[in-house]
Amino acid sequence: MSLNPAYQPISETDYLHGELLAETKHEYIDGQVHAMAGASENHNLLSVNIATELKTRLKGTPCRIFIADMKVKVGANFFYPDVMVVCQEDNDNEYYKTAPVIIVEVLSKSTRRFDQTDKRLRCQRIPSLEEYVLIEQDKGEIQVFSKKDQWQSFYYYLGDDITFSSLGVTVRVEDIYYQVNNEDVLDFLREKSA
Neighbours of 20 (CB within 10 A): 7
The structural architecture, per CATH, of the domain 39-193 is Alpha-Beta Complex (3.90)
Residue 149: closest CA among 167, 171, 165, 135: 165
Cα distance between residue 69 and residue 32, in whole Å: 19
DSSP designation for 104: E
- Whole-model pTM: value is 0.91
What are the extents of the domains in the chain? 39-193
pLDDT one-digit tens code per residue, 65-92:
999 889 999 999 999 999 999 998 777 7
pLDDT one-digit tens code per residue, 1-22:
445 555 678 999 999 999 999 8
pLDDT at 1: 44
Residue 144: closest CA among 124, 174, 126, 127: 124
Cα distance between residue 188 and residue 40, in whole Å: 21
